[in-house]
Structures are given as C-alpha cells and as structure tokens.
Structure 1
Amino acid sequence: MKSVAFALAAAAAVAHGDVFNVKYVTEAGDVTFEIHEDWAPLGAARFKELVEDGFYDGAAFFRYVPNFVVQWGIAAEPGQNNYTEIKDDKWGVVSNTVGTLVYATSGNDTRTTQLFVNFRNNSFLDKLGFTPFGKVTSGYDVLKDQVYSAYGEKPDQDKIYQEGEEYLAKEFPLITHIQSAWVLDDCEQ
C-alpha cells in the first residue's frame, strides 16, 4: 500500500512541479533544503516520506570529504534501515553543483536513504546517475564548516547499518548528528 501511495505522490509531483522545504536541526546548526519535485520526482517523494517517518532524526553525518561532499542517511537504530530501493529519476535535469542535494547510489535503481550535498561543481557525477532533487537554501556553512569533519571517511558504513549509534558513539564520539528533521509548512517558510 505504501509503495502505491509513493508512486501516486511521485506522479502528482511531476504534473505540478511542486517545491517544498525541509529543515534539519543538527548539533552544528540548522540547515534548510528546497526540494524540487520536477527535478527528480521519485527522489523527492522518497525524501519527503523519510523525513515524515522521522528516519533522519538521530542520523550522523558519517562521511566528509573536503572539497567534494558530506554524506549521511543511515538510521541511528539498525532496525530502521529497511527501506526498499527506488528507481532512478531522469538523469541530467539539474547538474551536481555546489549545494545540491543528491542520493548516494551504488548503481542503477539502488537509491534508498543515503544522501550527500556537493561542496563543489561535481558535474562528472551527472553521467553516473547521481540526480539532484534539491538544494541547500540556508545552512550550507553548517554542512561545510561546522559538521565535524576530522573523521573523514573512517566510519564503516556496514558497522553503522549493523550497530547504529552504539558503534558511532564508541568509535566516533565527536561525529555530528541530525537532531530532528521536518517538512516546513507555509507559515514556517
């Protein structure tokens, strides 16, 4: 039933080209994203679903590559990492420029919950199927300069999936977390 509702929401988004905003409150500061459903309707609909489900609450920014990306999207509780893969959106609608929000992927039709924000023009990712669906409208400096970056790419993603926050708290105690995320209503924007 959830997948039917997801598909209908994505189809409606294409027809209307809706834009919505999502706010993250993180340990380092607030970040707001503007989501463009017409750029990547399936990706935008999944993101909205994840935010409304509280999936990102407590998640850590587990990968930081200077002058490239910051990445997150593995739940703090291992039992929450059960979302199915979604199909790819059309490639090349918008390029991977500074501040764009994109799903991490390991091949065709493998997007689930992991996201990244580009720290530079990464247009080479366009041809590889990394399709932006939003952009940072405030708090880019939080992601680039305030999120704890010294761990780089050291956190083991498999261990985060298996052990969640327990692993991160023990091995990477200074890692930055998302405290809460929500879709902004009209009066909050």
Structure 2
Amino acid sequence: MTIRFTMDKITRDGDPVLRQIANDVSFPLIEEHAQLAKDMMTYLVISQDEDKNEKYGLRPGVGLAAPQVGYSLNMASVLIPSIDPHEHDDTPYFKGTIFNPVIISESVKRSALNVGEGCLSVDEDVPGFVPRANRITVRYQDEDGNTKTIKLRDYPAIVFQHEIDHLHGHLYYDHIDLTAPWEVDNDTKYID
C-alpha cells in the first residue's frame, strides 16, 4: 500500500480551499478523482494502524475530505471502526468515499463529543463542545455514481457532519461558543 498523502500534504487552516464550497463531482468518475478517493482512504487505513501510523508520522483520522488535501471537490473518505464493543472482528462500521453528500434530515436533539473535536487540518487545539445533530440521514453517491441513503446517530453522525462541513467551507471550531466553550444546553447528549 503506497501512501500519497502524508502530514506535510494535508492542507492547513488558513488555506483558502478550506473555506470554499466544494464543487460537485460528476460521474462516471475521471481517473484523477477515482485515484484521489483511493489515496484519501489509504491515508485513513494507514493512520489507524499504530505501527504504520508511527512509520509515516501520521495523525490518526476517521475522515478526510478532498479540500483537506487541496482539492475543492465534494467528496470525503470515511473510515469509522466498529463501534460495537461486542464485535471481535475488524469489520468497520463504515468504510467508503462519499460523493456529493447532502444531509436530508436531522434531529432536533444535539450531541457532542465529550472531549471536543480535532481535525487533521487544524494544528492548534481549539477546546470546546461542538454541538451537532444527534441523528442525521445522508444522501450521497458512491464511487460508481449510485445514490445511497444512510441513517446515522451518535459518533458516526458526528463524523459525517464534520466531513460534510469541510465540503461547505466550515471547520469544527466554527460551532464552538468561544465565550463558553464547555457549555451546551442540558438536552445535549455527550458521546465518548
């Protein structure tokens, strides 16, 4: 497995591409876009392997959007490990590249990671809760152009919203109340 994107290739906060609305991807995929999807997924796979991660000096990630590697394209690779503590195999909860994703519904109930969020493109930690919809339904296209719909809640919903934010020019800290970063309303669900 050859890695194309290392930490020095990750677009950092301050680069204008991170604040642009990404351009939709057309199908069938051109070779450059198909290869980009493979390269982004390779980063995620290697970054989640402790030995390889250390070898390449990668920060672990569960998602990588095209703007984070300098492409203003409406696509993001997502690799969420199994979230069922009773599963003993290595089957991920979700592994794939989502093209042209749209959140078509979301819950009123909010959730937030209890330690806050991080981002491969943001080197300086910005502490605080990032309130997001606890449940979402996302419509997207897969690498063959097939339209898919997925319902997500809790941690996977947070991951997808974080990546889709990148495609709309938003970063996680845009959602933090900087005057009271660790305060959210009492109905917010905290996710470990």
- The alignment's TM-score, normalised by the length of structure 1, stands at 0.27
Say which structure is richer in helix.
1
- The alignment's TM-score, normalised by the length of structure 2, stands at 0.26
Instruction: Find the structure with the greater CA-based Rg.
Output: 2
| Bigger relative contact order, structure 1 or 2 (CA pairs below 8 A, ≥6 apart) | 1
